[in-house]
Structure 1
């Protein structure tokens, strides 16, 4: 099995094409379960095969999925082309406004889905064994950081989040008793809560204009 790479999206059209709840659900299902037909996806997502087929073709148009071996018509299986995706960084230079807006829409869809998962986990917590109730948690903090420290913190969190990502593609790497878990993290400046003037730019006491 060829190892799939993560896809970094840098154009607005591609971001808008995938920023749709059902399309993201389809990509998730294919990531977790492997190649599936439109009919199988419809059964899992409570959607019609025709609707799943239409969205699969759109995802294929933008390179997110491709036909897998075997089957014909709606019974042909589809598979993902990349394992995970990223967007919204400035690695290739300043981000154009249309890409910023499309990236914001994509982030809203993804974060909304993860919030739903968090709330569902809280509702279902009483059903879980004690070790899973103890393991599942949510953390939040606000601290004073420089831009460099914030970047370092985000990179450290990303390293933790991606540490076992290869277990998606290779089930043999999954230890006994493991379950699919959602890990979410972000570090951003706050607005409107504290003085947003960086400390080194603040006017010293007694030198007001």
Structure 2
């Protein structure tokens, strides 16, 4: 079953939900389900009818996928529903899953989900690059696109990730509380991808 990674104070959405069930991992890997969760986190709550308008899918399809997401704890019914038009909301701001597992079924499902998410990242970045010429100059100059090749130990890479997360945390509250956003603030996606580059052979100093 999904695990809420932090306690949930009354009325406050938890930071993240952790998926460890292979069935939940496989369910979340569906492109439309990832889109629905992402939209609920950024502009929700909303109904299946609104979800259909946002995604271009049918109401029946969105309703079905929202129910699947609810089954695995990623979304839930929001207050204020009337009749069959019930609104949905995300249960957490982020989704986490194991980077490593001794359980082969969990490891396989987690790797498949990571691959699906990476493909989604690539598609979104490609669209952003295609449309960035429409942005004001200050946004084009502020955007970042590049990579770094570092020689690190596993412990150093873990520490680097924790420090990057610490830098980003002060800005997280702005997603759910618009009053915290300064004038001119707009939604910015920041990708954090670090992997052992096996295409570059290890070299040892003599």
TM range (shorter): 0.7 to 0.9
The residue aligned with 2:166 is 159
**One of 7, 11, 25 as aligned partner of 1:2:** 11
Task: Give the TM-score of the pair, scaled to structure 2.
Answer: 0.87
Measured after TM superposition, the shift of residue 156 of structure 1 is 2.0
Moved over 4 A (4+): none
Of 104-113 and 52-61, more deviation after overlay is shown by 104-113
Please state if 1:133 is matched with 2:143. Answer: no
Q: Does the CA-based 8 Å contact 2:132-2:140 persist in structure 1?
A: yes
Q: How does 1:68-107 map to 2 (within 5 A)?
A: 68-72=78-82, 74-89=84-99, 94-107=101-114
Tell me the matched-pair count: 196
Measured after TM superposition, the shift of residue 163 of structure 1 is 3.7
5+ residue gaps, structure 2, are 1-9
Which structure is larger by alpha-carbon Rg, 1 or 2? 1
**Alpha carbons of structure 1 residues 123 and 117: separation in structure 2 relative to 1, 3 Å:** same
Q: Does the CA-based 8 Å contact 1:64-1:81 persist in structure 2?
A: yes
5+ residue gaps, structure 1, are none
Of 156-165 and 49-58, more deviation after overlay is shown by 156-165
Mapped partners of 2:98, 2:146: distance in 1: 24
Task: Give the TM-score of the pair, scaled to structure 1.
Answer: 0.86
Q: How does 1:30-179 map to 2 (within 5 A)?
A: 30-72=40-82, 74-89=84-99, 94-179=101-186
Mapped partners of 2:201, 2:84: distance in 1: 55
Mapped partners of 1:129, 1:149: distance in 2: 38
Q: Does the CA-based 8 Å contact 1:161-1:184 persist in structure 2?
A: no
**Alpha carbons of structure 1 residues 163 and 105: separation in structure 2 relative to 1, 3 Å:** farther
